[in-house]
Amino acid sequence: MATYKYRARSMDGESLSGIVEASGETEAAELLGERGFIVLSLIEGNKKNFKGININLGGVNQKDLVIFSRQLAVMISATIPIVQALRILSQQTSNPVFTDKIVEIANDVDGGMKLSDAMSKHSKIFSNFFVAMIKSGETSGRLEEVLEYLADQMEKDYDLLARIKGAMIYPAVILVGLVCVSVLMMVYILPTLTLMLKESSTELPTITNWLIAISDFMVSSWYYILFILALLAFVFVFWTKSQSGKNMWDAIKIKIPIFGSLFKKIYLVRLTRSLHTLIKGGVPISIALRITAEVVDNKIYADLIMKTVAEVEGGNSISTLFAKSPLVPKMLSQMMIVGEKTGRIDTILERLSDFYSREINTMVANMTTLIEPLILILMGVGVGGIVAAIMLPMYKVAQNIE
């Protein structure tokens, strides 16, 4: 006999938890079912529960979804019933939050609900994009193929973002180092040196007086600086969370020098890849465009896509507005026109997605190569300026002593 910790719901919807003894997990689930409980999770008593150190802090990341999609596709291809496959995956998933959700989905499907409808109840985990693809797979009888395709596309998105973040780590570390060195010099080193300068009768250069004033303020009022920085960060986050703030920030991002071009290409990849995946999965073009407007995650591009929905529903081409918009490169709109005429719009979108992904990789590599020496020059000028502002008056003091 083994001991199992369970989480369940009663028929009245009350949350329950406790311990049950059984010879196996199946028997434990049956015993709880006989009591009228809906089982949410079962954990063997001698197994460690790592809920307290869940790295997702209560969330489900894209990597979890990729693994889930691929494993579910393999099980379906092996003709394992969906409910059984979901219950198996709930035991294999290391993320406890995701485990509970998979169990709930399995229970809903076991109760007669479609997989896509069961997933749509958990919109924080399964996006409209994901649910629409699952629904298309159910309708066409190609659920296994759709799940594999979803996993592939999500992996591409994950890899792209990982490469961008990875490329920015080194410049970010250098910038943090520059700030830390400057603060240490202003707070600890400069006051010691300026004490001697103040005691001398030497006239100090303007830049030295500025540095002394800044240093004195940082030493005496550091808590004001921290408060102001924290307040600015809070205001910025709050502003970008509001609808008007997010809309304005989305417009600003695509106009920032150098980085604006990178943001545009990221949104174009999301547009082309999402639209390609949905059309390939058999989702109607107008619905695919609506879902893509959510996936692109930029109000400016979302508005353009939603206007395109109206054009398509009015019987016009998908490329009508794209061809006129400065947000969309001419190559993209022209290739989409060709794709519509030849009936190969999904293939064209896939090629465009791959093209812009390579463009992003090249741009990030070039930016990293360019940013590194610029930051080093900035560090040299900044630190050198501080040292010069201190050393010049000290040199004068030394000359006066002689």
Taking only the tens of pLDDT, the chain with its 402 residues reads 566 677 776 666 666 666 666 777 777 777 777 766 767 677 765 443 333 233 333 467 778 888 888 888 888 888 888 888 888 888 877 788 888 888 889 888 888 888 988 998 888 888 888 888 888 888 777 788 888 888 887 888 888 888 888 777 877 887 888 788 778 878 887 777 777 766 666 677 777 778 888 888 888 888 888 899 999 999 999 998 888 888 899 999 999 887 888 899 989 988 998 888 888 878 888 888 988 888 888 899 999 999 999 988 888 888 888 888 888 999 998 998 898 888 888 889 989 988 998 898 888 888 878 877 887 787 788 777 777 777 777 776 666 655
Q: What is the CA radius of gyration of the chain?
A: 29
Query: Which residues touch 270 (CB under 8 Å, ≥6 apart)?
Result: 157, 292, 295, 296, 297
Domain with CATH 1.20.81.30 in the chain: 62-153, 157-402
Secondary structure of 213-225 as H, E, C letters = HHHHHHHHCHHHH
How far, in Å, CA of 287 to CA of 377, rounded?
51
How would you class 382 by CB atoms within 10 Å of its CB: exposed for 0-12, middle for 13-18, buried for 19 or more? Answer: middle
| Structure tokens, 344 | 């190969």
Work out whether the CA dihedral 60, 64, 69, 75 comes out positive or negative.
Answer: negative
Give residue for tokens 């890849």: 273
Q: What CATH homologous superfamily does 62-153 map to?
A: Type II secretion system (T2SS), domain F (1.20.81.30)
Q: Over the stretch 90-112, which tens digit does the pLDDT of each residue have? A: 887 778 888 888 888 988 888 88
Q: Residue written as tokens 């999402």?
A: 274
Cβ distance 77 to 40 under 8 Å?
A: no
The whole-angstrom separation of Cα 243 and Cα 139 is 36
Rounded Cα gap, residues 77 and 143, in angstroms: 9
Tokens 């924290």 locate to 230
**Residue that the structure tokens 């920030």 belong to:** 249
CATH number of 157-402: 1.20.81.30
2-49 is a CATH 3.10.20 domain: yes
Burial 258-292, CB ≥16 within 10 A → b, else e: eeebbbbbbbbbbbbbbbbbbbbbbbebeebbbbb
Q: Cite the residue boundaries of each domain of the chain with CATH code 3.10.20.
A: 2-49
Contact residues for 297 (Cβ-Cβ < 8 A; gap 6+): 267, 270
